[in-house]
Structure 1
Amino acid sequence: MRVMKWSMIALAVAAGTSQFAMASSQDESKGFIDDSSLKLKTRFEYMNRDFKNGARNNADSGYRQDSGLSQLLTYESGFTQGTVGFGLDAMAMGSVKLDGGSGRRGNGLFANDSDNNPEKSQGKVGGAVKLRLSDTVLKYGQQFVASPVFATDDSRLLPEVATGTLLTSNEIKGLELSAGRFTSLSKQTGMARDSIGGISETGGSEKGLTNINIFGASYAFTDNFTGALAASDADDYFKKYYVNLNYTLPINDEQSLNFDFNGYKTKGEDRGDLYDALGDGNTGVDNNLWSLAAAYSLGAHKFTVAYQRSSGDNMYYYGVDGGSAIFVSNSIQISDFVGREEKSWQARYDLNMATYGVPGLSFMTRYVMGDNIKTEGLGEGKENEWNLESKYVVQEGPAKDLSFRVRFANYRANGAYQAYANDNYDTRVIIEYPLSIL
């Protein structure tokens, strides 16, 4: 093992030496203005959730329906020329409520005002400074993050925004290294920088967090085989480790096989009810979560099967590290299938209509079934979910990239698991129009 480790280091040094001989991204900089971009994304979202047996959270209605319109304006400057480049990024975003009163709130599209009614409008702004040396970028300020152990969520009208420092290095071809420290996370309905808190959408403590440190590395071993490692340390919560291996086996021009493995290990101290998100008295946090998916592509068709396993003292916790920090196969529209000791299976089918003369149109359906969930004296928990989705993206003309997306989910849990999750029909309509101004 030691010989192999030093061999890998030698290869990395050799690769890095050859890489430095080539022009870096900073060497090719055209300047602060010439490399800048300004983009505007407009999003309409309608969301309807019908909890057939009533919502578990009595503060919200068992029937929730609302819709809104949002705009996200992002500016990214280029870097000044020279050995070290300087740049600025900025964002401004806002949303307005089109439909949805206090009696139907709870879908997470809008925050509540002082009278506990959904806000009619909301917005926030932010910015970041950045430095680039060769192919390494240091960025501080408000930003979107997509690490497996710290990922901002963009599933509603406005995205989460993290505040902190992120260092990203691509000095060696195929290898990306990253490290960051973040001190606040603005929720999707938040209009200010909030201290990082909360555990997951299931509830739990809103205790603030001093900071979260993250590290990551990804490497393309070949054009068809990639791997990634990541780790995080969230103060007062847990430490988390992540691994990914992804391999594609080309068969011919029309066929291929893909294998995708994702795994998490979460470790933390038992801190009373801080981790008792489900209110069942179980306050452990150690968890192992992994999934393995295999996908067969045949022309316009793709068939996927996946298996996922959660084990340990409790369910898999996330949320304090961003609403999207769950890179596993069976994390789908409603459920993540990460219950205590849960086993789950997925079957999925995708269809790309470009092959049939309708480019931009696609369909997807999937079914996930989970069982073996450990509950507190209620027996074996079971859950299942069926998703159906269709999306169309305009391919050309003045409305190029305008997209229409419809999502439907039917979620069910057995009697033993009803105390943890609600039967649910979930319907969403999302229309997006991204516009490049500069």
Structure 2
Amino acid sequence: MLKTPIARGVALATLGATLAIPTMAQAAFIEDTKAGLELRNFYFNRDYREGSGQSKQEEWAQGFLLRVESGYTEGTVGFGVDALGLLGVKLDSGGGRYGDGSQLLPGDGDTAADDFSELGLTAKAKMSETVLKVGTMQFKNVAVANSDSRLLPALMQGANLVSKEIDGLTLDVGYANRNNLRASSDNQVLSLNGASAGANTRNIRLTSGAANESDDFRFAGATYQFNKNLTGSYYYSQLEDLYKQNAFNLIHVLPISEGQSLKTDLRYARSKDDGSSNVDNKSFGAMVTYSLSGHSFGLGYQKMSGDTGFAYLGGNVDPYLVNFIQVNDFANADEKSWQARYDYNFAAVGIPGLTFMTRYVTGDNFDRIGADAGTEGKEWERNTDIAYTFQTGALKNLNVKWRNATSRNNYSRGTNIDENRLIVSYTIPLM
């Protein structure tokens, strides 16, 4: 049933791990194994509205994502293995349209690769409500979140320990030493996003002679659910030699009546240098969302203070910011930004599976660079998402999503863009 080489590779690796486990302990390992093959078709179009360089990026590709998650062997400590097989195939690119900005396919110059693949294996062990994983990781927490917004997801090599022994409390400890970009099959050393030897709107610089690279990122955090409506989190993270960060998050949902609620999401982070940079940032964000019968109305505010902008890992990592959206993160030094958002779930009018989202974010109060240094920088972005998941018939569970973005600023013509993404995905359960 699995025809592609990458699929066969994952299947053989998983089978090998299974055979290595004593026969008496295999029952739960096999019975609880889950496997699925996601087919992800991705069209990307980015139109640069100003500038003398490349005017357009356009690519179309097909992705295959095979995920296998085993159960655990029997005993006080259960052992298992997860496998992730990724394959990206070019359908259309080139002719002056290829560029790293799309990040669908790897390439060189004006030519995208015909295909690329990756095989990731993760060993795991479980005792009671504590799980340790070592190998290929896809983190998603306050400290680090690997992006999955293109053809294939970004990955890391490392380890993660998650413990839920105490009711309502989740402890999360992790480590990474390599990064695998979403348009690459190679592992790379870690880096600090936005660091530059010259002037930049982040104002993040490295000390003389220092390299923007590290092979040691670690984090430790705790999330506690005080009650069914209130959850708080704290995470400490450090990218060795480059930055360290303390981050807090508080989420509260106030039920008002049937189908009506008010959600408040507060985020604060304090980032400092770790010896080889000038990182100094305080980040505050708040998002308040009022929901009523399928409608959601959100207002957000984000403020950067300190000598630099927000610090986070480079290499396709999504920062935990309320105004991090499709193109921008609005996290320049001293920047203030506001968001207005509207969502609608058409299930409220009898069309389940159809959703709509639109938002507008505007930011200002940061310094421009180059010849315009000393004057105020401004930027704005508008997003629209429409998605539909088929509920019945031959196309049941097929998901179609269109994402549109318009971004403008007065400090870098290369990022004044109009962008469209069309994603069609379908997951085939295999086990």
Whether TM exceeds 0.5 here: the answer is yes
Instruction: Determine if the alignment matches structure 1 residue 148 to structure 2 residue 145.
Output: no
Pair 1:68–1:195, CA change in 2 (3 A): same
Match of 1:69 in 2: 62
Residue from 148, 165, 170 that aligns with 1:176: 170
Given candidates 291, 296, 299, the residue that maps to 2:293 is 299
CA distance in 2, matches of 1:289, 1:75: 38
The correspondence for 1:411, drawn from 401, 407, 410, is 407
**Shift in Å, 1:418:** 2.7
Question: 2: CA distance between counterparts of 1:157 and 1:87?
Answer: 28
The match for 1:345 is 338
Q: 1:189 to 1:408 in 2, by over 3 A?
A: same
Whole-angstrom CA distance in 2 between matches of 1:246 and 1:330: 16
- In the alignment, what sits opposite 2:160? 166
Cα distance change on mapping 1:334 and 1:325 into 2, 3 Å: closer
Question: Identical aligned pairs, as a percentage?
Answer: 36
The letter for the 2-side match of 1:179 is V
In the superposition, relative to structure 1, how do residues 160 and 201 fare at CA in structure 2: closer, same or farther (>3 Å)? Answer: farther
Indicate yes or no: 2:249 matched with 1:254: no
1:435, distance to aligned residue in structure 2 (A): 2.1
Amino acid at match of 1:391: A
Instruction: Indicate if the aligned counterparts of 1:128 and 1:142 stay in contact, CA closer than 8 A.
Output: yes
Give the TM-score, by structure 1 length: 0.85
- 1:46 to 2:48 alignment: no
Give the conservation status (yes or no) of the 8 Å contact 1:263–1:289. Answer: yes
Uncovered stretches (5+) of structure 1, i.e. residues with no partner: 1-28, 276-283
Deviation readout 1:67-93 (Å, 9 max, x if unpaired) = 111011011100011111010111111
Matched residue count: 390
Question: 2: distance between equivalents of 1:144 and 1:221?
Answer: 27
Indicate conservation of the 8 Å contact 1:69/1:98, yes or no. yes
1:104-133: CA deviations, max 9, x gaps?
A: 1221111114x6521110011010111111
**1:122 is the counterpart of 2:127:** no
Other-structure match for 1:239: 244
Q: Which amino acid in structure 2 is aligned with residue 124 of structure 1?
A: E
Mean CA deviation greater in 298-307 or 421-430? 421-430
What do you get for the CA RMSD once the two structures are aligned? 2.1
* 1:109 equivalenced with 2:104 (yes/no): yes
> Which deviates more from structure 2 when the two are superposed, residues 190-199 or residues 128-137?
190-199
Say whether the 8 Å CA contact 2:240–2:274 is kept in structure 1.
Answer: no
Q: Which amino acid aligns with 1:33?
A: I
- Aligned CA distance change for structure 1 residues 160 and 129 (closer, same or farther; 3 Å): same
Matched, 1:186 2:180: yes
Deviations 1:335-360 (A, max 9, x none): 11111101111111111111111110
Q: Secondary structure at the match of 1:31?
A: helix
* In structure 1, distance between residues paired with 2:312 and 2:329: 11
Deviation at 1:195, TM superposition (A): 2.1
Cα–Cα, structure 1 residues 192 and 144, in superposed 2: closer, same or farther, change >3 Å?
same
Which SS does the other structure have where 1:221 is aligned? strand
1: CA distance, partners of 2:272 / 2:316: 19
Offset from partner CA, 1:169-219 (integer Å, 9 cap, x none)? 010111110111111111111112222235259999984322111111111
Question: Aligned AA for 1:410?
Answer: T
